[in-house]
Chain A
């Protein structure tokens, strides 16, 4: 073997000469230290429990990576002009090899990401992951959630079909009701009197350049901060004497397994279910019903029941409450325990059940019987249709907070769990009603 030069050439081409054991361990050390920039060397066993994190952060990160890769691929084929956008998507769906699959992976990953980041936020709230020095990362997380929504929102317009066109028209009209800054944001976003080439260029540039840069920076900080805060939250009593295992392989292998499962699931789903594409955008005729992007439909549903300013005030209050949450809820016991305590668990259940019962009932009652402006004809609609429902909502929220405190003897933090559960369940219920139970003229219909 050693005597044949041909053989040795082949060997050189096909096999890298076996590295010395010393070199291999050095390479290993470099990759390990890369991983250790994100993860600590050892992690507590309790932080690895799947039923604690549900791997929601990891799933979201995997989806972000999938979106990046498929998004770059799509950029090579997509043309951001109102004349060519729809055609280029059609070509992607019908002519480009694997075009439909790549677009489907991008589409479904993006929509799933809205869900997983929302659930991730729920998980962090319910386990008190924003307490004890983790306040900054809670804020970054809220910012990332908004970035995900912006990503989905800007991406929504790009196919330039009827669904995209009118969803963005309705959504930008919604934005223009935000007090003070709303009209300016809406005007700048549209860059014209209605959704057109200006809006498409804006949304494209935001979607493929501005938002990715912002998200990469924020995501990098988010990960680094978890490491800096001593890993993810966990029960206090364990701290110090918790059993720890090495990150490699225990954590890294789990992460890889989750990533592989997510990728496999998305690819299979994408093969079975291509991304939807409606007919070409027609600025002269809106479909009936015209709905906002699905994740904003909950807000659109809210607008059916109260004046826009009142609905905006409610949204701003809820979002503001989430931002100041680390200062609002300073009970530092029971970190790392779902729902804090049995009292917290009961509050959460009460909040969620109240919302699931009350919200559909109120929606139906408002549709069928209640007509506030007609009941108070003497008052301006801003009062009868704005202040009255807003006050009603706030009194209801106060009650959702007060009942657990009185009945379950819950402390402030546990009662907040109930309030938060109520709000999040209401958001979900409103989104479901708006997306599924609203038909032509936005009338309530049964989907089956």
Chain B
């Protein structure tokens, strides 16, 4: 008896006929509206959280302009490491400057300059790079990343806030005094 009564109620259509000219019932409007407002709130809170977290990454840890020194300090063909700036400053035999990130692009280990091999060496996978940062063997996906070099009044400045990925070494990557 009671069961039948409940069944009757369930069988009844939830929506009565809509008045002429209406396509959305009040109940459906509320449902969709609350759903949309809820989704908007979630998006807002998500955006707030993301932006809250993101602000830190823009500060950068070493991203300053580093003064490397007067041009004449670096003889042609020399490699000088700036450990705090995380880069090697190279001067090509023709006098052009290039600043290379001191981390292997494969797994992020620091590379060292081995003068007797004329190569950069990464200790993690024994990968090697030539003077211009081109890689010799495969686990490495690309040459050593570079920072931009500027020369002002005979002083070499290296901008370490942006790493440049390179496909290969090209002469136009060098900066001349």
Q: Is the CB of B110 within 8 A of A308?
A: no
Binary interface profile of B, 57-69, with partner A (CB < 8 Å = 1, else 0)?
A: 1011111000000
Number of A-B contacts (CB under 8 A): 84
Q: Is the CB of A193 within 8 A of B109?
A: no
Q: How long is the Cα–Cα vector from A385 to B86 in the complex, in angstroms?
A: 30
Which of chain B's residues have a CB closer than 8 A to the CB of A308?
Answer: 139, 141
Q: Is the CB of B110 within 8 A of A286?
A: yes
Q: A191-B53, A197-B61, A286-B124 in contact; A170/B138 too (CB < 8 A)?
A: no
Q: A198-B56, A201-B56, A307-B138 in contact; A284/B124 too (CB < 8 A)?
A: no
Q: Is the CB of B126 within 8 A of A442?
A: yes
- A179 interface contact, C-beta 8 A: no
Looking at B8-16, B33-41, B71-79, B100-108, the stretch in contact with chain A turns out to be B100-108
By the criterion of a CB under 8 Å from any partner CB, how many residues of chain B are at the interface? 27
- B163 interface contact, C-beta 8 A: yes
- B123 interface contact, C-beta 8 A: yes
Q: Is the CB of A166 within 8 A of B139?
A: no
- B83 interface contact, C-beta 8 A: yes
- A174 interface contact, C-beta 8 A: yes
Q: Is the CB of B123 within 8 A of A290?
A: yes
A241 → chain B closest CB, angstroms: 37
Q: How long is the Cα–Cα vector from A194 to B102 in the complex, in angstroms?
A: 12
Q: Is the CB of A192 within 8 A of B123?
A: no
Q: Is the CB of B125 within 8 A of A304?
A: yes
Q: How long is the Cα–Cα vector from A346 to B33 in the complex, in angstroms?
A: 62
Q: Is the CB of A192 within 8 A of B59?
A: yes
Binary interface profile of A, 164-208, with partner B (CB < 8 Å = 1, else 0)?
A: 001001101110000000000001101111101110010000000
Binary interface profile of B, 137-177, with partner A (CB < 8 Å = 1, else 0)?
A: 11101000000000000000000000100000000000000
A153 → chain B closest CB, angstroms: 15
Q: A170-B107, A307-B138, A442-B125 in contact; A284/B84 too (CB < 8 A)?
A: yes
Which of chain B's residues have a CB closer than 8 A to the CB of A191?
Answer: 53, 56-57
By the criterion of a CB under 8 Å from any partner CB, how many residues of chain A are at the interface? 37
Which of chain A's residues have a CB closer than 8 A to the CB of B139?
Answer: 303-304, 307-308
Q: How long is the Cα–Cα vector from A294 to B63 in the complex, in angstroms?
A: 31
* Minimal Cβ-Cβ distance residue in A for B103: A194
A374 → chain B closest CB, angstroms: 9
Q: How long is the Cα–Cα vector from A373 to B61 in the complex, in angstroms?
A: 37
Which of chain A's residues have a CB closer than 8 A to the CB of B102?
Answer: 284
Q: Is the CB of A288 within 8 A of B123?
A: yes
Q: Is the CB of A173 within 8 A of B106?
A: yes
Q: How long is the Cα–Cα vector from A190 to B56 in the complex, in angstroms?
A: 10
A355 → chain B closest CB, angstroms: 24
- A360 interface contact, C-beta 8 A: no
Q: Is the CB of A385 within 8 A of B125?
A: no
Interface centre among A190, A198, A201 (most CB of B within 10 A): A198
What are the 10 tightest A-B residue pairs by CB atom distance, in nearest-first order? A288-B123, A284-B83, A441-B126, A173-B108, A286-B109, A196-B61, A173-B107, A169-B108, A381-B138, A286-B110
Given A286-B124, A290-B123, list of 14 further CB < 8 A pairs? A169-B108, A170-B108, A173-B108, A191-B56, A193-B60, A197-B56, A286-B123, A289-B123, A290-B109, A307-B138, A308-B139, A385-B138, A441-B123, A443-B126
Which residues does B use to contact A, with CB under 8 Å? 53, 56-57, 59-63, 83-84, 86, 102-103, 106-110, 123-126, 137-139, 141, 163
Which residues does A use to contact B, with CB under 8 Å? 166, 169-170, 172-174, 187-188, 190-194, 196-198, 201, 283-290, 300, 303-304, 307-308, 373, 381, 385, 440-443
What are 14 A-B interface contacts by the 8 Å CB criterion?
Answer: A169-B109, A173-B107, A173-B108, A193-B60, A193-B62, A198-B56, A201-B56, A284-B86, A287-B123, A303-B125, A304-B139, A308-B139, A308-B141, A373-B137
